[in-house]
Amino acid sequence: MLSYIVRRVLQMIPTLIGVSILVFILIHSVPGDPARLIAGNEASEQDVALVRERLGLNQPLYMQYGHYIGQLLHGDLGTSLRSNRPVMTEILTRFPTTIMLTVMAIVIMVLVGLFAGIMSATKPNSVRDNATMMFSLFGISMPIFWLGLMLILIFSYYLRWLPSGGNDGIKYFILPAVAIGLSSSAILARLTRSSVLEVIHQDFVRTARAKGVKEKVVVFKHTLKNALIPIITIIGLEFGHLLGGAVLAETVFSMNGLGRYVIQSIQFRDYPAIQGTVLFIAALFVVVNLIVDLCYSLVDPRVKYE
């Protein structure tokens, strides 16, 4: 397994280089001059030119990218044009908010998605099954920002149970976590249903029932355990979706996380901040995929890593 982990870590390098090139090209293609934003609208062209020269924005793109890669090799993500602070410092300041929001959303996704999928699969074509599929269709089609606004309207404005924004305590994370977790739980519910239905009619499940094993044990010990690999896969993939949802949720709920930081950096044309944050999130997503792959062997001992 160690050789497999080393190989996967080495494979991360070209992936992250590709991400850095793509992001670098895209953000430099966006209209707008960060030097003008920093200098101010009333600054003269000479002042703007001096700012551009100080930031190295007057150099050819390949030289700017080469300088950026040189910084990365030394563990430096650059300095934010907006705050003049190291990008890594800005990321580490906001990362706890984003990761806590994402973890809470994953918990909601797993609890709601697994429960709905299992309840639907154990009674196929029933009223319960049709209701679950309707919920799944609604959840997949529902924009995160719209659900967030509806949650604020109901639980913050009318009921006044939860705050509408900020990140000063656990209660501030409940509404945004529900907003992004429910959308992913709908996808997980559909996948869980199909995976459980595929396993529940196999011979070993019939044998367990014939021996008089309780239905709950049959479902959770025999059926669900053997249906977990595709479920674990979608949970890992949804981690990236949840990070993307955090961008919208943090903006709607005014949370000081990585998502809102990216939006603010894009508005300011803060190239180092955008590049550093996207690269950080990409590396995090690749690591999560590696962890998901390693979890396969825990669920199914037949999975071997060579």
* φ, ψ at 154 (rounded to 5°): -80, -55
Spatial separation of the C-alpha atoms in residues 226 and 222, rounded to whole Å: 7
Residue-wise pLDDT tens digits, 128-149:
778 877 877 777 777 777 888 8
pLDDT on residue 299: 65
Dihedral angle, C-alpha 241, 246, 252, 255, nearest 10 °? 180
Residue-wise pLDDT tens digits, 41-78:
677 777 778 877 777 777 787 888 888 888 888 878 88
DSSP 190-221: HHHHHHHHHHHTSHHHHHHHHTT--HHHIIII
pLDDT on residue 65: 83
Mean pLDDT of all residues in the chain? 79
- Widest Cα–Cα separation across the chain: 86
Q: What band does 278 get if pLDDT is binned at 50, 70 and 90? A: confident
Spatial separation of the C-alpha atoms in residues 259 and 278, rounded to whole Å: 10
Is the pLDDT score of 1 beyond 70? no
Domains contained in the chain, CATH given = 2-73 (no CATH), 95-256 (1.10.3720.10)
Percent of the chain past pLDDT 70, that is, above it, reads 91
Q: What band does 306 get if pLDDT is binned at 50, 70 and 90? A: low
Q: What band does 235 get if pLDDT is binned at 50, 70 and 90? A: confident
Helix/strand/coil for 79 = strand
pLDDT on residue 293: 75
Is the pLDDT score of 173 beyond 80? yes
From the CB of residue 274, how many other CB atoms can be counted at a distance below 10 Å?
A: 23
Q: Which residues of 15-49 are buried (b: 16+ CB within 10 A; e: fewer)?
A: ebeebbeebbeebeeeeeebbbbbbeeeeeeeebe
Of 116, 80, 60, 135, give the one whose Cα is nearest residue 275: 80
From the CB of residue 267, how many other CB atoms can be counted at a distance below 10 Å?
A: 11
Is the pLDDT score of 32 beyond 80? no
State both tokens at 142: 């529902």
Beta bridge partners of 141: none
Spatial separation of the C-alpha atoms in residues 143 and 227, rounded to whole Å: 29
Dihedral angle, C-alpha 88, 89, 94, 100, nearest 10 °? 70
Which of 3-7, 35-39, 90-94 is the least confident region?
35-39
Spatial separation of the C-alpha atoms in residues 78 and 71, rounded to whole Å: 7
Is the pLDDT score of 213 beyond 80? no
**Which residue's entry shows tokens 């390693």?**
294
Spatial separation of the C-alpha atoms in residues 156 and 261, rounded to whole Å: 24
Q: What band does 204 get if pLDDT is binned at 50, 70 and 90? A: confident
Is the pLDDT score of 13 beyond 60? yes
Amino acid at 247: V
